[in-house]
Structure 1
Amino acid sequence: MTIAILAHDSRKELALQFCTAYSGILSRNTVIATGTTGRMLAQATGLPVHCYLSGKLGGIQQISARVACDEVDLVLFFRDPLKAGNGSGSEQNLLRLCDMHSVPISTNIATAEVLLRGLDQGDLDYREGIHPDIVEPLPVHRAVC
């Protein structure tokens, strides 16, 4: 399973503590993250993390694109509900895409814990059949005139 992890600046320490506590479950899955969060997570836990751009530089959009292509199974988004400007367009788009593609998403630590425990118990195994097969593009044959 592919787990995306994002965290607002004021929630990064909370995200690191959470991921350290659940590193056993995370280590059995593919972890992707926005840039700063991912680098901090890899350093704190030793987990391999595929880092995208920083959230402010397009990382949220990159992860959203992966959600739209059914390449993400679970999103852990440690949001600051009091952050000024909360609900930016890119964040709202991520939430919308998770709803459209039935990708479980947490926006707080309580839901993140429920989702990871459920993942560990096999409650999210249904997601395995959702990933599309990656098919190489067919070669283009040009008509000879």
Structure 2
Amino acid sequence: MDYVKTIALVAHDNRKQDLLEWVRWNYKTLIQHKLVCTGTTGKLVQETITGLMEEGDRQTYPIIRLKSGPLGGDQQLGAMIAEEKVDILIFLWDPMEPQPHDVDVKALLRIAVLYNIPIANNRSTADFIISSELFKQQYQPIKRDYSSYLNRTVPGE
């Protein structure tokens, strides 16, 4: 592995099993990277990885567990993305179930797009990301220049 990435793993309740299946399929790759998870997802991911590890496997970094999404975990993760501390977001959200913290979910996805990090919202996209040649190397996303927005004239100033 040429470069350690920080990978955020998030899943709504109805998608947690999908994420855990993906983690089981990819755990040998994932244990070489820093993992950040919200609440219950983090607990389940840690249990899954620990249960799969064979003799000789070594989880290089502990899993960082944030608060549960509805209790601020989505916002914590958004802050990490804004601080450029997350390289990839795997967020399996449930399109069929209304979420009480939907505005937080939208804000998290918005900030990930704003900072141009790869986002997977389904298993197929997660598979493409983890199997990409770019996954195996350092990758610096192209950042849009927002200086004109930051330096704009605000009426009344």
What whole-Å deviation, never above 9, does each CA across 1:106-145 have from its counterpart, x for those lacking one?
1111101111111xx33562239x9xxxxxxxxxxxxxxx
* Pair 1:61 & 2:65 matched: no
In 2, the alpha carbon distance for the partners of 1:90 and 1:42 equals 24
CA deviation after TM superposition for structure 1 residue 56, in Å: 1.3
Structure 2: distance between partners of 1:53 and 1:83: 21
In the alignment, does 2:140 pair up with 1:127? yes
> Which residue of the partner structure matches residue 64 of structure 2?
50
Among the aligned pairs, what percent are the same residue?
A: 31
Cα RMSD between the aligned structures?
2.1
User: What number of residue pairs does the alignment pair up?
Assistant: 128
For 2:112 and 2:18, the matched residues in 1 are separated by: 23
User: Match for 1:38 among 39, 42, 52?
Assistant: 42
Gaps of 5+ in 2: 51-58, 144-157
What is the aligned partner in structure 2 of residue 92 from structure 1? Answer: 106
Q: CA deviation at 1:77?
A: 0.3
Which residue pairs with 1:138 in the alignment? none
Asked whether 1:18 is paired with 2:31, we answer no
Select which of 76, 85, 97 maps to 1:71. Answer: 85
SS in structure 2 opposite 1:125? coil
1:84, distance to aligned residue in structure 2 (A): 1.7
1:84-119 alpha-carbon deviations (Å, 9 max, x no partner): 24881111111111111111111111101111111x
User: Does residue 1:112 correspond to 2:126, yes or no?
Assistant: yes
The aligned amino acid for 1:127 is Q
- 1:75 and 1:28 map into 2 onto residues whose CA distance is 16
Q: Structure 1: give runs of 5+ residues left out of the alignment.
A: 131-145
Distance 1:40 1:72 in 2: 20
From 3, 7, 10, the counterpart of 1:3: 7
* TM-score normalised over the length of structure 2: 0.75
- Residue 28 of structure 1 is matched in structure 2 by 32
